[in-house]
Structure formats: C-alpha cells, structure tokens
Chain A
Amino acid sequence: MRPETPPEILLPATLGEALASLGERAAAPLAGGTWVMRAPLRREPFAPAYVGLSRIPELSLVEVTDDAIAIGAAVTHADLANALAGFPEFAGLRLAAGSSANPAVRSAATVGGNLCTADFAAADLVPALLCLDATVELAGPAGSRLIPLADFLAQRTGLLPGHILTKVVVARTGQRTAHARLPLRKAGDYPVAIVSVAMRVDAMERIGAARIAVGSVEATARRWTGLEDALLGEPLDGARTTGIAGSLLASFNGRDGVEAPGWYRVRVLPALAGRAVASLVAA
C-alpha cells in the first residue's frame, strides 16, 4: 500500500494569497477543522493541501451597522453568539450559534464552515440564516460577488472549488426570530430536526410576513413556504401553529440516519414550528 502523503497546511495572511494558493495546489480552505479533521472517520481522503483562514483578519470580524450585520466566514459559533448578545432581533441566530454542539466545538467551528460543508445536514446556522434571507459573499479569482444564501445552498458544490466564502450579510429589519432544535439528548447531539423562523407581527399580534426554514430533516436546509403562506394573518399561537403545520408535511422527505429515521424527523416538525412561534410571543 502506498503511504499517504500528509496534507500540507498553508497559513496565508491575506485573502489574495489564500485564493492564489487554492488555485495553485488544488487545496481546500480550512477554518476551525471540526469537520475536516473527521474525514478519516467518514473514510474520506484529505485534500492534497489546506489553506488555513485563521490569519486573515477580516474573516474573523462581525460588523454591525444600522442596516445590516456582516459576519466573517472564520467567526466561530461562540464569537457569533457573543457578538449578537445586544440584538434581540437576532435571538434565533444567537440561539443557533450558542446551543449547537458543545462549548469547545462552538469555540472552533465557524460560520463559513457550517455553510460550506454540503454533507453536514444538521448544521444549525444554515436554517437560522436562511430564514433571515442572508446573502453570502464568495471571493474567487475573478473577484467577489454576493449570492442569496438559498441559491448558494442549491449550487455550493459547484460554486466552491477555487473560491472562499468570505462573509454572510443579514439585513436588520426588526423582525422577531426564533430557532427550535431537537437533539435526542438535552444538548450535545446533532439536532434531528430544526425549525428557524423570522416573522413580522402587526399591532394586533397577527403574523404579517413569515420566513420559515427547516434544517436537518433533508440533506440540505430549505424554506417551508407552505407553512409561511398558511400562517399569514394568524395569531402568534404555538398550539395553533402546530395544528396548521401538521397538515403541511407532504413535501418533506426525511433523511434516514443513525440517530433518527426520516419519518421521525418529519413528524416532529409541527411541534418544533409551534415552539418557535410560541417563543416569539414572549419576545
């Protein structure tokens, strides 16, 4: 058997150098390492080389303006949760960042890693950002461009080679947001299903606009548009939401996994949707 050459790790100080290295070496970006380091357990080969993103300062910034929040790709879950502490409108995203995995993994795993790992169905940040209608910035040899997150998710395996996701931008629109996740232990496991919601509520506490995203149920997180439409004009009521959601499950095809079969992931969605909406009442 041929001994495997251990992959090299380059640690460029600028985005330009990082992009150049990706092109030259068929390298892959490496942020916190929590997914890549488990490649042997998944019986996957390492890339020939990795380009570490930890020394590129702008990738680790969270910038907040009156209109938007821009989250660098190398910002960790723990740093994101801290940065969002003073912003109740991002309660859902903050809960996603602050309750995924466990504390040590949250201080290593990054926003960019969560969005770029197409094989990781249980990512918490993906549905949380999807319901916020986030936009990602993708840098490549021809420059940078902004892509709506939903489009990025649909095409990411084709878009990513030779490119680096540099940041995620979320508009500040004063919505109420929530994130309901179901791990089979109280914490520390992958969630078997996730429902993230962002809603505008009128003076009568009725739902005026809703974006709802579902994670971990299918291979890739996506919006639950059937429920979004059905909740328009409804009161913010968890039990009522659960009832309405129960008849809108036909479009889901749950993925089977060691922790839960596909049908179970789908069956818990109405309860999670109800919990998410109920937590908006208190907001």
Chain B
Amino acid sequence: MTIRLTVNGETREFAAAPMTPLVDVLRDGLHLTGAKPVCREGFCGACMVLVDAVPTVACLTPVALVEGRDIETVEGLTSGESPTPVQAALEEHDAVQCGMCFPGMVVALTHLTTSGTCEPNRAAVKEALVGNVCRCTGYERIVDAALAVMEAGHE
C-alpha cells in the first residue's frame, strides 16, 4: 500500500507492506539509520521516535497505523550545526559510551525535558527512562544530564 508520513517536517510517500515495522521503513526506505532495531520487543528503546510528539517504539509500530502522522527521528531534532540542549548536556556530562542506545535515549530525553510531564528529580527521570536500556550501564551520568537540562529550563 502507499503510505504517507511526515518525517522530520517533510512529507514522504512510499510503498510498504502495512505490517512493516516503522523502524524498518525509516532505516531501509528513508535511510534514517539513527533509530536502531535492537531487541524488536519494545524493551530496549533503541528504536524510539516521536509520533505526534509521543515517544514510540518504532519496532512494534506497524507503519499503516501511523499513516498521516508526524514522525520525528533523532536526525530531525537538530539542524546539524548546533546540538540541542539535551545533546549538549550529554556531551558535557561525558554520558555517551558505546552509543547504541543513544538515538533512542536522546529522543526520550528530548520529550521528558520539554513536555512538562516529568518532575525534575532523579526518581522521576529514572522512571521515565525505564524503556531505554543502556548496557554500558551509564545511567547516572545520563540522569545528571537530563536534570541539568531541566534545571536550566526552570531558570
């Protein structure tokens, strides 16, 4: 079937089998390889993208169900020249290790630091990141970076 999506602000139209996971369409069809298909079970969060601004596991999302919706991937969060506040804070806190979880982590952190749905404390940030698994186990510095962004936003 023909699918129409808005991806990072651009309208894209392409043919795909309706049950194709959104992550495969993004990577194989649109060559947006930031989102990673790692567990394909909705546990790890490496494939996370925003669908109408809601963090979504792209591995479990059949592309037909997001027809006409607004998709934002990690590639769309920045124009390329300057990092977003989340990206800058992650760099400043030396939080990036192997990088596998990071595209999903950046998407989740962008939502949690801008949506007003997360209290600026460690417990709330950890709860919001339950679905983003970092196997380098670098969580504490990731949480530090998230809190720094949230505190800066409150100044």
Binds A, one of B17-25, B70-78, B80-88, B93-101: B17-25
| Interface 0/1 of A22-33, CB less than 8 Å to B | 000000001011
A152 at the interface (CB under 8 A from B): no
Do B62 and A104 touch across chains, with their CB atoms under 8 A apart?
no
Complex interface residues of chain A between 28 and 56 (CB less than 8 A to chain B): 30, 32-34, 37-38, 41, 46, 50, 52, 54
| Residue ID in chain A nearest B45 by CB atoms | A104
**Residues on B with beta carbons closer than 8 Å to the beta carbon of A155:** none
Flag whether B148 is at the interface (Cβ < 8 A): no
Chain A residues positioned under 8 Å from B20 (CB to CB): 6
**Interface SS of chain A: helix, strand, loop or mixed?**
loop
A233 at interface by CB-CB < 8 Å = no
A9-B60 in contact given A54-B65, A103-B131, A187-B130 (Cβ < 8 Å): no
Q: Which residues B50-71 have CB closer than 8 A to chain A? A: 54-57, 59-62, 64-65, 67
Q: Please measure, in the bound complex, the distance between the C-alpha atom of A41 and the C-alpha atom of B131, giving whole angstroms.
A: 19
**Which residues on the B side are within 8 Å of A103 (C-beta)?**
55, 108, 128, 130-131
Please measure, in the bound complex, the distance between the C-alpha atom of A212 and the C-alpha atom of B40, giving whole angstroms: 35
> What total of chain B residues lie within 8 Å of the partner, measured CB to CB?
29
B127 contact from A32, A50, A108, A187, Cβ within 8 A: A187
**Total count of chain A residues near the partner, CB < 8 A:** 25
Least Cβ distance of A183 to chain B in Å? 10
Q: Decide: A41 near B40, CB < 8 A? Known: A102-B45, A103-B128.
A: yes
Known contacts A33-B65, A188-B131; A105 and B18 CB within 8 A of each other: no
Is B41 in contact with chain A by the CB < 8 A criterion? Answer: yes
A76 closest partner in B (C-beta): B54
Write the nearest CB–CB distance from B129 to chain A, whole angstroms. 9
A11 and B19 CA atoms in complex are apart in Å by 13
In the complex, A104 Cα to B45 Cα: how many Å?
Answer: 8
Residue of B19, B60, B127 with highest tally of chain A CB at under 10 A = B19
Q: Are A104 and B65 in contact (CB under 8 A)?
A: no
Interface check B48, CB cutoff 8 A: yes
User: 1/0 per position for A168-197, CB-CB distance to B under 8 A?
Assistant: 000000000000000000011000000000
Tell me the complex Cα distance, A38–B65, Å: 16
> In the complex, which residue of chain A has the Cβ closest to the Cβ of B18?
A9
The answer to whether B42 has its CB under 8 Å from any CB of chain A is yes
Say how far A74's CB is from chain B's closest CB, in angstroms: 11
**Which B residues touch A261, using CB under 8 A?**
none
Q: Is the CB of B21 within 8 A of A37?
A: yes
Complex Cα–Cα for A54 and B52 (A):
15
Is there contact, CB below 8 Å, between A37 and B131?
no
Contact of B131 with A9 in the complex, beta carbons under 8 Å:
no
Task: Check: B43 CB closer than 8 A to any chain A CB.
Answer: yes
Contacts of A32 in B (CB 8 A): 60
Within 8 A of B (CB), among A91-120: 101-105, 107-108
Would A7 and B45 count as touching, CB distance under 8 A? no
Flag whether A8 is at the interface (Cβ < 8 A).
yes
Q: Top 7 nearest A-B pairs by Cβ distance?
A: A102-B131, A6-B17, A9-B18, A9-B64, A188-B130, A102-B130, A37-B60
List, sorted by A's number, 16 A–B pairs whose CB atoms are closer than 8 Å. Answer: A6-B20, A7-B19, A33-B62, A33-B65, A37-B60, A52-B65, A54-B65, A103-B108, A103-B130, A104-B48, A104-B55, A104-B57, A104-B108, A105-B131, A108-B61, A188-B133
